[in-house]
Chain A
Amino acid sequence: MIRLKNLSICYGSRILFDKVNTSFDNGQLTALIGRNGSGKSTLLRAIAGLNRQYSGDIILDGKDLRSLSPGGLAKSLAFVTTERTRIPNMRCVDVVAIGRAPYTNWIGRMQDIDRNIVMDAISSVGMENYAERTMDTMSDGECQRIMIARALAQDTPVMLLDEPTSFLDMPNRYELVSLLRTLAHVSGKCILFSTHELDVALRMCDSIALVDNGALHHLSVTEMVNSGHIQRLFSSPEVSFEELLWQNRK
């Protein structure tokens, strides 16, 4: 569970978030949406402990982010960045095994329990057949799944993903988000991901957090559809959302 208390974040002289208060519950999949440059990545990076320039509090499972050690933070939260990671000469199973780093000793020695967790993580993203392959021979969707398996191996209650669907085609996008939804609902994780795909967010997620000029509107999908925020922020003379929103009105 993530709680934001009076969270304010600036980027240079611009105020991206102004005293935001909300919380993201366990077992819930939340999409973080907003226009380009609205601060989605900045918020995720702040929650992940990568950007400490904020005021207010970020509480992870009852603990203040500022009080957590690097190791403690790594046991509470896993992050999948936008970067397309390709490490030559490294098998997928070893990539996922890196996720056990917060639990292994100084040289990263794997115990049997670590190996089991790694294999479980690989199979829960459906990549068993890829365990021995290297990522430089795989597609973007497959690599994304391996990076998510790595985050799962980290065995954390909270998982953040920065635009995990951006390099994927439509079927892969839906499959990936449905995988995230299963992970949230079955293993009770709190999963927050940023995306530009409004249709994916409206159809597949439990709630939506919308970045709106300093405010963060965090509502259930139905409430978000009826709130009018999406039309106001995203519509332009060229684009209308009425049909998409109408389809998702439950």
Chain B
Amino acid sequence: MRTRASILFIVLAALTLFLFMLDLSVGAVAVPLSDVWAALTGGECPRTTAKIILSIRLIKAIVALLAGAALSVSGLQMQTLFRNPLAGPYVLGISSGASLGVALFILGAPLFGLSASFASLGIAGAAWIGAAAVLIVIAAVGHRIKDIMVILILGMMFSSGVGAIVQILQYLSKEESLKAFVIWTMGSLGDITLSQLYILLPAVMMGLALAVVTIKPLNLLLFGEEYAVTMGLNIRRSRGLLFLSTTLLAGTVTAFCGPIGFIGLAMPHVTRMLFDNSDHRILIPGTVLTGASVLLLCDLVSKIFTLPVNAITALLGIPVVVWVVLRNKSVTR
């Protein structure tokens, strides 16, 4: 049991590192892996190569690494908290909340005569507020509603509602802000500047640190809130920490990279299956590695075929979700 986990951790860490290096080497100009290594470690390689690697590709690869880890951990937290295998930042409407925040900021503000400065903190702040608002609503409503399916349905309805509002905003808004918003919704790992990375990195790191703090609460919550409380869980504090962590993780990534679907939904299942375990002491670091490596892989594929990353994550994630639904014994015969 323990050896299986250790071997998997080593293999996944090596895989993540390899994909990270590969992600750096693939692009408009192919750079051999040896030169990538040299550029990273300060060894000898052509100066232009070093510049491409360090000042362009490295940021994007780090963003892919962080975003994959953040979205997957957030999905794991939501699946355990809501005890629903189909929960995730996207399904629950957290990403929609972030979208609404960004839409109101980019599209809505000019309508009211406010000049939206597209400063990085502004978009991120709007997405955070949007994501947090959705989580607060879910928490408030979820407390009263026993059937968690209702919350999922509400999340889907909320997403549709947000879609409608965003359409109205798009219809009313000017061309340049419309373009900025549409590009944001396509999802991209590449449009992040170094100064934006200085916000993304600490926010995701703080979210991950909080995720580590919530490991024991998550293990208790596997049994449902009532069992968790009678086993000593401070439910309000734990829920607050989980919501804060998920907002920092999914909200921030959505703010900077746009809504990236299916990674947060699918990777926790892949990790559970790989490790054959439900213990969050294994699952949290496990999803960090699987999420990071899969999003790096998606980024590689999207670079090779020059496709939007959102399309790749959906094509990879949908089979996993279908598998989860069909594996559920109550559905199949």
Query: What residues make up the interface of A, taking CB atoms closer than 8 Å to B?
Result: 45, 48-50, 70-71, 73-75, 77-79, 81, 83, 85, 87-90, 94, 98-99, 101-102, 104, 106-108, 136, 154
Query: What residues make up the interface of B, taking CB atoms closer than 8 Å to A?
Result: 213, 215-216, 219-220, 222-224, 226-227, 229-235, 272-273, 275-279, 281, 329
| Candidates A79, A81, A98; contact of B220 at CB < 8 Å | A98
What would 13 more interface pairs be, CB under 8 Å, given A83-B224, A98-B231, A107-B216? A50-B230, A70-B234, A70-B235, A73-B230, A74-B230, A78-B230, A81-B226, A85-B223, A88-B272, A89-B278, A101-B220, A106-B213, A106-B216
In the complex the two chains form, is A70's CB within 8 Å of B229's CB?
Answer: yes
In the complex, the chain A residue whose C-beta lies closest to that of B223 is A85
B residues near A88, Cβ cutoff 8 Å: 272, 278
| Candidates B223, B272, B277, B281; contact of A98 at CB < 8 Å | B223
| Candidates A49, A85, A104, A136; contact of B227 at CB < 8 Å | A85
Decide yes or no: A87 and B226 within 8 Å by CB, A101-B231, A108-B219 being known contacts: no
In the bound complex, CA of A30 to CA of B74 (Å)? 44
In the bound complex, CA of A81 to CA of B276 (Å)? 26
In the complex the two chains form, is A108's CB within 8 Å of B226's CB?
Answer: no
In the complex the two chains form, is B215's CB within 8 Å of A87's CB?
Answer: no
Decide yes or no: A90 and B278 within 8 Å by CB, A83-B224, A101-B220, A108-B219 being known contacts: yes
Decide yes or no: A102 and B232 within 8 Å by CB, A81-B227, A87-B222 being known contacts: yes
The 3 closest A-B pairs by CB, nearest first: A74-B232, A79-B230, A102-B232
In the complex the two chains form, is B226's CB within 8 Å of A83's CB?
Answer: yes
**What are 14 pairs between A and B in contact, CB < 8 Å?**
A48-B230, A49-B229, A71-B232, A81-B226, A83-B226, A85-B224, A87-B222, A89-B272, A89-B276, A101-B219, A101-B220, A102-B231, A104-B216, A107-B215
B248, chain A: closest CB distance, angstroms: 20
B residues near A73, Cβ cutoff 8 Å: 230, 232
In the bound complex, CA of A73 to CA of B231 (Å)? 8
A residues near B281, Cβ cutoff 8 Å: 107-108
A residues near B232, Cβ cutoff 8 Å: 70-71, 73-75, 101-102
A residues near B278, Cβ cutoff 8 Å: 87-90, 94
In the complex the two chains form, is B215's CB within 8 Å of A79's CB?
Answer: no
A134, chain B: closest CB distance, angstroms: 9
In the complex, the chain A residue whose C-beta lies closest to that of B232 is A74
